[in-house]
Amino acid sequence: MSFKEIDIFSLVKSYIDKSLDKDQYVILKTWLEEDKEHQKIFSDYLQVYKKYRQISFLEKIEKESAWLKITSKLNQPVSKSIKVKQLFSRVSIYKYAAIFIGIMAGGAFFYNLTQKTVVSPTEVALRLTNGTIKTLKTSEPKTILKIECNAVQLGSQLTYEKTSFDEVAVEYHKITVPYGKVFDIVLSDGTQVKLNSGSSLKYPTQFVAHKNREVLLEGEAYFEVYKDQAHPFVVNANKDINIRVLGTKFNISAYPEDKNISTVLLEGSVSLYPEKNKYNIKNSTLLSPGHMAIWDVEYRNFSVQKTDIEQHTAWLDGKLIFKDTPFKTIRKKLERKYNVQIVNDNLLLEENTFNAVFDSETIEETMEILSRSFGIHYRIKENTITLE
Amino acid sequence: MLETSKDLEILQNLKKGDEKAYKELFDLYYIPLCIYSLKYCDCYDVAEDIVQDLFIKFWNEKLYLKIDNTISPYLFKAVKNNSLQFQKSNPHTDEINDYVYKVIEGDEEEIDMESLETEKEKLYQEIEKLPEKSREIFKAIVLDNLKYKEVANQFDISVNTVKTQYSRALSKLRESLDIIVLLLIVS
């Protein structure tokens, strides 16, 4: 390719950027008029550029949040029977750049967190920058609640209006999800987060330009990170480790183990490193698809192993899948999902491992299945289940 | 014009006051209209804003009552006008602009989801054929819309190298442009 052609590329790009100055314009125009072939080259490049811009746009459009925005501005609302599709369908998994789940297994920690909170522990709570706490009632699935900075709540989903990155420090919001509930958040960059029961997420209402997009997670969450290579997305998990999203198309998920933080990757790549360290590719742990990274909180190290992804993403569909899972883990997961307390004094049973799949059963049905399959006896009194 | 009958049905139902038809209209045209708008405004956010505003206006002002035939020509025309209005005119480039609109209007075929998906696949295949370095740089510039300088920083190379690699990618893709167009006609 000739040197001249390279210059012309620059001019074409500047033209597209609208940053072409008068001199450059004259050069481009002269070049175009010089030869019919030049016009052909110019229009071809322009077409290539436009085509690829279109397909990349196609990837980025989020129809559901657009529909939410539109319907929130109609002066005569459309019938409530018109359902907005759930954001986290199976298909959508492949639509977004990054997906991962970060899980804190420290059950005791959460227990304290949810027990001591001032807000009613049965409702999702949103803490604003100034410390005020708003209760987000999810029981009325179709109410739209407008919250400051153009966030719209629709049932169990809170959507922040998509905004460009800010130059200055921003406001932080924090969502806390009680036991027995899950909650969806769409952040201002388009990233989607599903928070599992007994979890909280702190995030800026608008991200800062030229800085990492940073959020704080305690508990379990599933992320679909909006692709933006100029602003890496970093999840700080339990103020202990950072999970940094790299690359283009990948999915991550994590799985709770006692005293562990685990991250499971579905597709692409992420890197993990202790929070105290500054990010450096050389000393962070890279994860490849189908693998899980386990951070041992006590020994402060990562181990990586192959894993079965479905097990870790089942909760997104309201399911629980256990494979060789110790009873104590099953117990904690049931407590979170059903907002109950399960008391077990049988230490032998705590360590026993089981295989089980639960779908839409009630807690009563679930306990009945456990009882029949594994010979476990129990009593239910209000929200407490005692094993005998 | 594959969607003509669907389009007519939606219009009839809207006039009857059937609110579900409004959602159907959105499902049918939201993405194609956004893609169409981008041709003229070249900015993702602006494109979506324009299309969303149009949908809001269409409902709030009951614009469907004024339409007799299909809805789509009205929607596409409105989007084009609004997108062109946004295109801040740069006095230096007006003459080229005229020329550019001729180029981009050259492929003014109806946009529908099915052809968009096919096109997307073909174009991605073409990107994958590029040498790795130019591919990454091309993606950063065109798909992520980064500036040369940002790309240079990110890949830790000079701006000139970015330009060279980007040009290589473009000229390779240009070679396959005819194939892409052909494939789309055949498929």
The sign of the CA dihedral A10, A12, A17, A22 is positive
Beta bridge partners of A176: A125, A200
% chain A with pLDDT above 90: 3
List the single residue in A22, A55, A74 with the smallest CB-CB distance to B119.
Answer: A55
When comparing pLDDT for A266 and B62, which is higher? B62
Of the candidates A155, A125, A159, which has an alpha carbon nearest to the alpha carbon of residue A143?
Answer: A155
- Range 221-260 of A in CB contact (< 8 A) with B: 227-230, 248
Using a CB-CB cut-off of 8 Å, the residues of chain A touching B144 are 56, 227-230
Q: Does B63 contact A at CB distance below 8 Å?
A: no
Q: Does B150 contact A at CB distance below 8 Å?
A: yes
Q: Does B98 contact A at CB distance below 8 Å?
A: no
Number of Cβ within a 10 Å radius of residue A345: 9
* Residue A102 pLDDT: 34
The alpha carbon of A132 is separated from its chain's Cα centroid by a whole number of angstroms, namely 25
* Residue B92 pLDDT: 63
Using a CB-CB cut-off of 8 Å, the residues of chain A touching B122 are none
Q: Does A379 contact B at CB distance below 8 Å?
A: no
For chain B, domain boundaries: 4-105, 113-186
**pLDDT greater than 80 at residue B106:** no
Of the candidates A176, A201, A167, A169, which has an alpha carbon nearest to the alpha carbon of residue A187?
Answer: A201
**pLDDT greater than 90 at residue B26:** yes
Give dist(CA A308, CA A330) in Å, integer: 17
* A319-387 matches A91-312 in CATH topology: no
Q: Which of B89, B95, B120 has the highest number of chain A CBs within 10 A, making it the mutation to test binding with A?
A: B120
**pLDDT greater than 90 at residue B52:** yes
For chain A, domain boundaries: 3-60, 91-312, 319-387
**pLDDT greater than 90 at residue B50:** yes
Using a CB-CB cut-off of 8 Å, the residues of chain A touching B27 are 63
Give dist(CA A259, CA A105) in Å, integer: 6
* Structure-token match 């003014």, residue found: B108
* Residue A107 pLDDT: 32
DSSP A126-164: EE-TTS-EEEE--SSTT-EEEETTTEEEETTEEEEPP-P
Q: Identify the burial level of A164 via C-beta atoms within 10 angstroms of its C-beta, where 0-12 means exposed, 13-18 middle and 19 or more buried.
A: exposed
* Residue A175 pLDDT: 92
ipTM over 0.85: no
- Average pLDDT per block of 10 residues along chain A, 388 residues long: 62 76 82 83 82 84 86 69 36 34 33 33 81 77 61 83 74 87 89 88 88 88 84 86 67 49 80 82 80 84 85 84 86 88 85 83 85 82 86
CATH number for the segment(s) B113-186: 1.10.10.10
**pLDDT greater than 80 at residue B170:** yes
* Structure-token match 């999840």, residue found: A235
Range B58-84 average pLDDT? 89
* Residue B48 pLDDT: 93
Contact A13 B174 (CB under 8 A): no
Summarize chain A as % helix, strand, coil (round to 5). 30, 30, 35
Contact A78 B45 (CB under 8 A): no
Question: B4-105 adopts what CATH topology?
Answer: Rna Polymerase Sigma Factor; Chain: A (1.10.1740)
Contact B48 A66 (CB under 8 A): yes
* Residue A85 pLDDT: 35
The architecture in CATH of the region A91-312 reads: Sandwich (2.60)
Using a CB-CB cut-off of 8 Å, the residues of chain B touching A249 are none
pLDDT digits (tens, 9 = 90+) for A170-228: 788 899 888 888 999 999 888 888 988 888 899 998 888 888 899 988 888 888 888 88
Give the CATH number of domain A319-387; options: 1.10.4080.10, 3.40.50.300, 3.30.1490.100, 3.55.50.30.
3.55.50.30
* Residue B91 pLDDT: 59
